[in-house]
């Protein structure tokens, strides 16, 4: 059942992205920014965590899930560290994904050559 | 001229029916959904290996990022995006591709202004506005707590 809802909710979030790309003139870069920011806001409001509980990876794997992670991190850091958490929470929560993407992208740039056009 | 223009608009409307949007959405839905199912499967796998909920979610993200960067490197991720559009771009794979793709593409401009700078062409704005939004959430949360 968890797989079913992961498929439905994850697919639906991607379909919304596709509608935005096709129906508006938003470039995919703007969509990425929009989805992460929406995820942060819904995460902050406590709505997105419920979606994650319900749909698991279907909610956490799409980019709003990344935003939700930032919101969750900021709250946890404020609970643990007080006001300083406002500054440290978001990046701290994103650190693993961010460093994975930075290091692997750098490695890819070392290994692979650009596609000949 | 104006009637021509209107006529043309009507022709465009006829030639690009909603079914194209429908098909694009369907493909995005299927591929995006499958990536999430893969994520769910990995999540269970990492949990069965003893990871906590948060750790498992992080390992899932890292695995998907690794896969997306690898596919980008061998030039296959573009094919996936051409087919599935947002289905490949909206999951965390799209974020990884948005970093790896320009990093490889701009290699010829050197490792500082090429790889180092261009890596953040799209990821930069995502991080800037994502973290700013998280700060705002933090400020609100902090004062609600008081």
Q: What is the pLDDT of residue B15?
A: 55
Alpha-carbon gap, residue B39 to B60, rounded angstroms? 6
Q: Where are the domains of chain A?
A: 2-111
Task: Please indicate, yes or no, if residue B79 is contained in any of the structural domains.
Answer: yes
- Test mutation, A105, A112, A116, A117, chain B, max B CBs within 10 A: A105
Q: What is the pLDDT of residue A115?
A: 79
Please name the residues between 11 and 70 in chain B that touch chain A, using a CB distance below 8 Å. 20-21, 24-43, 57-58, 60-62, 64-66, 69-70
Q: What is the pLDDT of residue B131?
A: 97
Residue of B nearest to A17 (CA): B86
CB distance A21–B65 less than 8 Å?
A: no
B144: closest CA of chain A, how far (Å): 11
Indicate the average pLDDT of chain B: 91
Task: Please indicate, yes or no, if residue B12 is contained in any of the structural domains.
Answer: no
Domain count, chain B: 1
Q: Which chain A residues are within 8 Å of B26, Cβ to Cβ? A: 15
A41-68 residue pLDDT tens: 999 999 999 999 999 999 999 999 999 9
Residue of B nearest to A105 (CA): B100
How many Cα atoms sit within 13 Å of A64 on the Cβ side?
26
DSSP state of B106: T
pLDDT at B10 over 70: no
Residue-number span of the structural domain to which B114 is assigned: 18-145
B82: closest CA of chain A, how far (Å): 12
Alpha-carbon gap, residue A23 to A17, rounded angstroms? 10
Alpha-carbon gap, residue B97 to B78, rounded angstroms? 9
B35 CB neighbour count, 10 Å cutoff: 31
Task: Please indicate, yes or no, if residue B53 is contained in any of the structural domains.
Answer: yes
Q: Which chain A residues are within 8 Å of B105, Cβ to Cβ? A: 114
DSSP run (H or E) holding B72? helix B53-73
B44-86 residue pLDDT tens: 999 999 999 999 999 999 999 999 999 999 999 999 999 999 9
Q: What is the 3-state secondary structure (H, E, C) of B21-35?
A: HHHHHHHHHHHHHHH
Percent share of chain B, pLDDT over 90: 84
Q: What is the pLDDT of residue B2?
A: 54
């Amino acid at each position: 059942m968890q797989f079913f809802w992961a498929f439905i909710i994850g697919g639906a979030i991607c379909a919304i992205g596709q509608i935005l790309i096709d129906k508006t003139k938003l470039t995919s870069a703007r969509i990425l920014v929009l989805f992460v920011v929406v995820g942060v806001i819904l995460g902050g409001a406590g709505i997105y965590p419920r979606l994650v509980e319900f749909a698991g990876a279907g909610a956490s794997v799409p980019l709003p899930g990344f935003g939700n992670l930032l919101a969750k991190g900021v709250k946890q850091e404020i609970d643990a560290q007080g006001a300083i958490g406002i500054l440290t929470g978001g990046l701290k929560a994103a650190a693993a994904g961010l460093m994975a993407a930075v290091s692997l992208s750098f490695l890819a740039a070392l290994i692979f050559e650009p596609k000949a056009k | 001229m104006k009637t021509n223009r209107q006529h043309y608009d009507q022709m465009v409307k006829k030639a690009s029916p909603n079914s194209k949007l429908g098909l694009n959405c369907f493909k995005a839905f299927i591929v995006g959904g499958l990536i999430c199912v893969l994520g769910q499967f990995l999540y269970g796998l990492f949990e069965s290996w003893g990871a906590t909920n948060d750790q498992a979610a992080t390992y899932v993200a890292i695995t998907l990022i690794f896969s997306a960067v690898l596919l980008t490197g061998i030039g296959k991720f573009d094919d996936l995006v051409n087919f599935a559009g947002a289905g490949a771009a909206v999951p965390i794979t799209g974020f990884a591709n948005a970093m790896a793709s320009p990093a490889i593409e701009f290699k010829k401009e050197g490792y500082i202004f090429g790889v180092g700078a261009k890596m953040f062409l799209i990821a930069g704005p995502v991080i800037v506005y994502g973290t700013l939004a998280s700060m705002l959430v933090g400020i609100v949360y902090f004062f609600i707590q008081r």
